[in-house]
Chain A
Amino acid sequence: MESVQRIISDFDQRGYVLSEELATVLYLSGELSKPVLLEGNPGVGKTSAAATLAKSMDTKLVRLQCYEGLDVNNAIYEWNYQKQLLHIKLNEKGEQQARIEKEIFGREYLLERPLLQSISHEEGPVVLLIDEIDRADEEFEAFLLEILSEYQISIPELGTITAKHIPRVILTSNRTRELSDALKRRCLYHWLDYPDQSAEELIINKSIPGIDQALTKKMVSMIRSIRGLRLQKTPGIAESIDWARTLVLLGQHDISKETLKKTLGVILKSQEDFAFVVDEWLEKEG
């Protein structure tokens, strides 16, 4: 498919190696105006996929980072209470109450949070990234459903705001909890896995142009076997790029046992993992 290939090359130009499968999903989400739900281990490029999509569409990326206790005030809108108060105070004398009331509930006094921002954007559709949706409460998820199906938000004092352009929505999840079926049903689902050997080599080559091919090959295969171990925190793509950068900085052309030990801190972020890899894995691998 031509359009799918175009997405791949668009992403490629911006340094993101896109699999054909994800490209098809992104293409479909545009065609069907459906959100995409990206699941996968930390560090496989879920968030940067959204960022790259925004870049390739030449539009703004609106990001909503979810967390436990995220509420409507922080996700949609809030009245700028202090500004309202100030306005009342300034017009205290001799003004008509009704006019002031009308004024202080105008757009000027509205603090737009990500969801409202993405809907009220004037110039073309934006990319709305709802990051780590699994961290938000279930109540919020239910609320999100409403917005994702209607693309409109009603503010009692102002009326209903309907999206001029339907945003491209990307949700990401680390699977800390199972999402509701209703939400999943409204999305296109894609499981983003660690890239395979050749794809990861390509990613490294793209991020660090001019890196030794043999080194890349060796390093990627090593990191892939480290990922296969029982670790508390499995290194993602960001870690392998960091590692490649470190090796280049140190002027290494091969990865000896010593080098690995010295630079392991770049890819492993826990003392136990570190000890495990050094003591058991390294000994075994020789």
Chain B
Amino acid sequence: MKTAEINIGEVTARSVIDFVNALREEGLIIGPGEVKEILQGLATGLVGRRSDFKCCLKSLCCGSRKDLPVFERLFEMFWQIQSNGVGSKTKVKVKDEQQKSSLIFLGHKKGQWGESEEEDSRSVSGASKVERLRKTDFSHVERVDAALLEEIAAQLFKQMEHRLKRRLKYSARGSVLNMGRTLRKSISKGGWPTEMVFQRKRPARRKLIVLLDISGSMDKYSHYLLRFVITLRKLFKNIEAFTFSTQLDRITPFLNEKGQKEIYNRMSQNLNSWSGGTRIGECLEVFNEKYSREVLTGSSVVLVFSDGLETGEVVHLEKALMHIKRRSRHLIWLNPLKGMKGYQPVQRGMATALPHLDYFMSAHNLDSLLKLENILINV
């Protein structure tokens, strides 16, 4: 069927539009202008051969490499049906059913590190409940407080967003003539300003790359960390985010309030791999292999949110981190466990990672997350 010639008579404007609509349903962005151009292109006589016809449609409909497989699949389905003479209205089934929502992911399960640490949260002293909650480890938040914490988090993240935005804007003033320097330089040229001096250009905002551990041991934290990452998204246009446990998943397209649900869905799909433990090293290797060339420029800042409890071979982790370090400006590791009293980064994973990090910070409560602001301001 693949090589079947398409009968010119059968390719009508109507069927092209139906095909384009099917592509649109799959998320390809195709405007009416393109449709017009497709028809124009076909009018120049490209319909004769299937390969020319396909190529014409492909170059006009696809805008990225990820569109190609979608196009290929639909093209085969659609035009095969077409050349069989079946009506063009055949609906292509698009979406699989909604995945079950994952409250499991948010589940307030029993802490994995014994009862003794439980005291941590209770012993926190603060002027008010808000103050206390800011300092409370995410994993110890009681069910009653969860809603309140959510509220405080939203508020604080919003404030941080404001502060960062304001400061970024101030430094974002474009290049302006520096009169003083220009005059000073002109003295040696007999008072003629032959060389103009400009105010230092604003440093290009760097790329931020977030790698979020969503393995079982992190489940208490992942939710808040994800919220934090979504806040970061608003500040950094250049952000790329990934989640990992036993496998790596790119979540950048879903980093907004609406997409949050989608992220949970994706996480819940990976639930079955939880028992396998965290393979940080291997996931980072996949990241290096698949994405690093695209997202790691020498100036990017990489944030890793993970407890560093590696179950795989640490050799992978070390190699992967060295690779990332060499291709980024800062490598920052945020470990929720660091907030625990008496925590020492001695487990295999964390101990391996430590020498390669620029910053090693805690990420167990709101205050610790907000501390990241001071580093990000210089990003």
Contacts and interface: CB of A to CB of B under 8 A. Distances in A.
B62 A189 contact: yes
B68 A69 contact: no
B237 A175 contact: no
Of the candidates B30, B40, B44, B63, the one having the most CB atoms from chain A within 10 angstroms of its own CB is: B63
B63 A25 contact: no
B297 A176 contact: yes
A103 interface: no
Contact of A1 (B31, B34, B52, B65): B52
A24 B46 contact: yes
Given A32-B37, A185-B31, A190 B204 contact: no
B64 A69 contact: no
B65 A24 contact: no
B45 A230 contact: no
A138 B31 contact: no
B51 interface: yes
Interface stretch (A81-89, A116-124, A252-260, A278-286): A81-89
A24 B55 contact: yes
Nearest to B327: A232
A185 B55 contact: no
A177 B299 CA distance: 13
A76 interface: no
A24 to B, nearest CB: 4
A95 interface: no
B49 interface: yes
B294 interface: yes
Contacts of A110: none
Contacts of A14: none
Contact of A189 (B41, B64, B297): B64
Interface residues of A, number: 36
Nearest to B202: A69
Interface string B280-297: 000000000100011101
A176 B68 CA distance: 18
Interface string B18-53: 000000000001110110010011001110110110
Interface in A33-52: 34, 36-37, 39
A235 to B, nearest CB: 14
A69 B62 contact: no
Contacts of A89: 192
B33 to A, nearest CB: 8
A150 interface: no
B360 to A, nearest CB: 26
A39 B68 CA distance: 12
A282 B158 CA distance: 55
Contacts of B58: 21, 189
Interface string B177-202: 00000000000000011101000010
12 contacts: A20-B51, A28-B56, A28-B60, A137-B204, A176-B293, A176-B294, A177-B238, A177-B294, A177-B295, A189-B60, A189-B64, A230-B289
Interface of A: 1, 4, 20-21, 24-25, 28, 31-32, 34, 36-37, 39, 68-69, 81-82, 85, 89, 137-138, 175-179, 181, 184-185, 187-191, 230, 232
Interface of B: 29-31, 33-34, 37, 40-41, 44-46, 48-49, 51-52, 55-56, 58-60, 62-65, 67-68, 192-194, 196, 201, 204, 207, 237-238, 289, 293-295, 297, 323
- 9 smallest A-B Cβ distances: which pairs? A184-B63, A188-B59, A24-B55, A25-B59, A21-B55, A189-B62, A175-B294, A191-B65, A181-B29
